[in-house]
């Protein structure tokens, strides 16, 4: 398509304008009306879960249709059940004891970036939470998952329109490009960016100049501690790493186990059809899977163990559930210690939980800071100590990390976007929900006296009184008796001291003498100024364009004034023009080059 990048940019602008107009109307919906919209969309997505899962696998070539269906159902059911009771309109909390009332305010339009790994389930989730918070949403689909994402948006938009939302509230880019997505994220009408994808996309979201929620990679270790129920722990780990062939960012990437229970762990892995990769096979696997950077080869993401082995030139059993790679270290010298997003697990043995702490820490540092960690143990003290020392914000216990981190098997907030906190370069460590896509106004009444009063006429400032009582400071002794108070038309006038010129000069001399400032010849006060004469008739001031004077700074208000009064704004080589002023001024044609 010629000029696809320009078409994509223009489409992003058009969709944002439509969504913003629709959102202004949608912001007037009541809580019950919005909840009716959420009910309709979730129901439609749930009914289409199988269709969308099949389309996602057919288009992307990643994962398994049944698991895609389950992820779609998770977004349409579990996420829905969590967000449905939330109050997101008007007064959402009223704390009578603190006398603070909290009022929800939508952010406007959400720019939602959808990945190729979980395309349909992430689209369902983001549309639901955006509209639950009273926002519009514009979707930027991954180019490799464009059709299945557009189909998801179509199904949910049709349900939302039937429930009464205005046209344009939900939009989806038809020609997604990098340039169009950047325009979507940085446009002035975008309220917030909700980015899920690779590290480069998340960095672009945080560099867009807009508030952004992005997530980092999840090189997730799973530690089996000596008190664990080994068979159950191994089952949980393999369920997690093989679910949809590892495409969820919280899926297990490495096993770390205590050496004392290693024989049981190995036996359990073999019973569940884990295939141990030998040294030569590990080298060939690493060369095929890991690109310079290092980066994971996207052709291997979300593939079965058999497909991975075939592409790497290995021969594995047709029933192998996972490829197990024993490693001695972490980092560039051990390429398969990174996040692989596939059923390939690194394997480590350690002496105890303290050494396991170090190993897990190094794995998180190599591409998973702040994301997720799993521990399998029946010793609650070890679990607590382990959690206290790890830079991960979701630490799941005795459950698959894949499902526990997103809130499927745990009480964590159900979500398809998992924040990694400051250590992971993210703005939050939360599981993202509608509460992150709205602002909260707070109405606060005074509940305690401030204990302050205005200072006296002589000292000025504010005086703090003893205790909590407020009392006015005593006035200074007057220099001379106040003038008699006059009253007119029954209204009392305030008392104003009156000083004759000589008394005023005497006070000034005393003030200056006390500070060593009085001249030897005394103080000469300037004679009073004569009353101003009537100004001579003059020509009206020339408009800025006629004076040909370039301004240092031009803001939006300058442009509006020039547009309203019909003159030009002169722009020189050193003139700074704000972004909003530039957009408005260029449309209005008020700029004139120096």
Task: List the catalytic residues.
Answer: 249
Question: What is the separation, in whole angstroms, between the first and last Cα of the chain?
Answer: 40
Which helix (H) or strand (E) segment holds residue 545: the answer is helix 544-547
- Looking up tokens 């036996």, which residue turns up? 267
Closest CA to 242 of 269, 207, 214: 269
Closest CA to 87 of 73, 72, 109, 103: 103
**Six token digits for residue 3:** 């000029």
Instruction: Kindly report the number of other CB atoms within 10 A of residue 99's CB atom.
Output: 12
Instruction: Kindly report the number of other CB atoms within 10 A of residue 441's CB atom.
Output: 11
Q: Which residues of 491-512 are buried (b: 16+ CB within 10 A; e: fewer)?
A: eeeeeeeeeeeeeeeeeebeee
Q: In 3-state terms, what secondary structure has residue 378? A: coil
**Six token digits for residue 219:** 């090189």
Asked if 245 contacts 56 with a C-beta cutoff of 8 angstroms, the reply is no
Q: What is each CA distance from 296 to 301, 325, 569, in whole angstroms?
A: 8, 16, 53
Instruction: Kindly report the number of other CB atoms within 10 A of residue 231's CB atom.
Output: 14
Q: In 3-state terms, what secondary structure has residue 109? A: strand
User: Which residues does 422 contact at the CB level (< 8 Å), separation at least 6?
Assistant: 370, 429
- Which stretches does DSSP call E strand in 306-401? 322-326, 344-350, 370-376, 392-397
Cα separation of 152 and 124, whole Å? Answer: 7
Cα separation of 205 and 182, whole Å? Answer: 8
Cα separation of 533 and 526, whole Å? Answer: 19
Asked if 118 contacts 72 with a C-beta cutoff of 8 angstroms, the reply is no
Specify which residues 192 forms β-bridges with.
Answer: 110
Cα separation of 162 and 166, whole Å? Answer: 10
Asked if 465 contacts 473 with a C-beta cutoff of 8 angstroms, the reply is no
Closest CA to 242 of 364, 403, 60, 397: 403
Cα separation of 424 and 422, whole Å? Answer: 5
């Amino acid at each position: 398509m010629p000029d696809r990048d320009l078409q994509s940019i223009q489409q992003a602008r058009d969709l944002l304008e439509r969504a913003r107009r629709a959102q202004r109307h949608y912001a007037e919906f009541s809580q019950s009306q919005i909840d009716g919209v959420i009910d309709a969309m979730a129901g439609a997505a749930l009914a289409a879960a199988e269709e969308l899962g099949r389309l996602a696998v057919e288009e992307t070539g990643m994962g398994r249709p049944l698991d895609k269906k389950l992820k779609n159902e998770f977004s349409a059911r579990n996420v829905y059940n969590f967000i449905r009771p939330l109050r997101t309109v008007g007064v959402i909390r009223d704390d009578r004891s603190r006398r603070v009332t909290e009022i929800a305010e939508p952010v406007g339009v959400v720019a939602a970036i959808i990945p190729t790994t979980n395309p349909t389930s992430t689209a369902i989730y983001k549309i639901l939470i955006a509209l639950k918070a009273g926002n519009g949403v514009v979707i930027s689909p991954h180019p490799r998952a464009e059709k299945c994402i557009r189909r998801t948006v179509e199904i949910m938009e049709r349900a939302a329109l039937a429930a009464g939302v205005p046209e344009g509230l939900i939009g989806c880019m038809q020609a997604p490009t990098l340039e169009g997505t950047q325009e979507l994220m940085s446009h002035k009408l975008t309220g917030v960016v909700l980015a899920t994808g690779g590290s480069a996309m998340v960095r672009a979201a945080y560099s867009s100049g807009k508030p952004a929620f992005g997530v980092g990679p999840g090189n997730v270790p799973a530690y089996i501690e000596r008190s664990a129920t080994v068979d159950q722990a191994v089952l949980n780990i393999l369920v997690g790493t093989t679910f949809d062939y590892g495409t969820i960012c919280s899926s297990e990437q490495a096993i770390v186990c205590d050496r004392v229970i290693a024989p049981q762990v190995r036996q359990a892995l073999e019973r569940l059809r884990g295939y141990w990769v030998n040294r030569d096979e590990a080298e060939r696997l690493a060369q095929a899977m890991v690109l310079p950077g290092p980066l994971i080869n996207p052709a291997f993401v979300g593939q079965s163990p058999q497909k991975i082995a075939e592409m790497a030139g290995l021969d594995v059993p047709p029933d192998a559930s996972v490829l197990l790679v024993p490693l001695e270290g972490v980092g560039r010298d051990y390429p398969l210690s990174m996040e692989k997003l596939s059923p390939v697990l690194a394997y480590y043995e350690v002496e105890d939980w303290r050494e396991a702490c170090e190993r897990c820490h190094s794995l998180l540092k190599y591409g998973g800071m702040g994301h997720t960690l799993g521990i399998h143990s029946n010793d609650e003290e070890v679990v607590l100590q382990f959690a206290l020392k790890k830079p991960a914000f979701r630490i799941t216990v005795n459950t698959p990390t894949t499902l526990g981190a997103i809130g499927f098997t745990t009480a964590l907030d159900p979500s398809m976007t998992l924040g990694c906190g400051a250590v992971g370069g993210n703005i939050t460590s939360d599981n993202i929900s509608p509460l992150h896509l709205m602002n909260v106004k707070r109405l606060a009444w005074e509940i305690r006296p401030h204990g302050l009063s205005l200072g006296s006429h002589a000292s000025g400032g504010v005086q703090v009184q003893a205790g909590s009582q407020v009392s006015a400071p005593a006035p200074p002794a007057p220099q001379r008796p106040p003038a008699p108070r006059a009253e007119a038309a029954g209204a009392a006038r305030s008392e104003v001291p009156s000083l004759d010129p000589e008394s005023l000069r005497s006070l000034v001399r005393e003030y200056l003498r006390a500070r060593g400032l009085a001249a030897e010849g005394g103080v000469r006060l300037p004679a009073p100024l004569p009353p101003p004469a009537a100004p001579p008739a003059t020509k009206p001031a020339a408009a800025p364009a006629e004076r040909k004077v370039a301004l240092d700074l031009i803001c939006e208000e300058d442009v509006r004034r020039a547009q309203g009064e019909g003159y030009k704004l002169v722009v020189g080589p050193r003139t700074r023009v704000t972004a909003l002023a530039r957009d408005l001024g260029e449309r209005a044609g008020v700029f004139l080059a120096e």
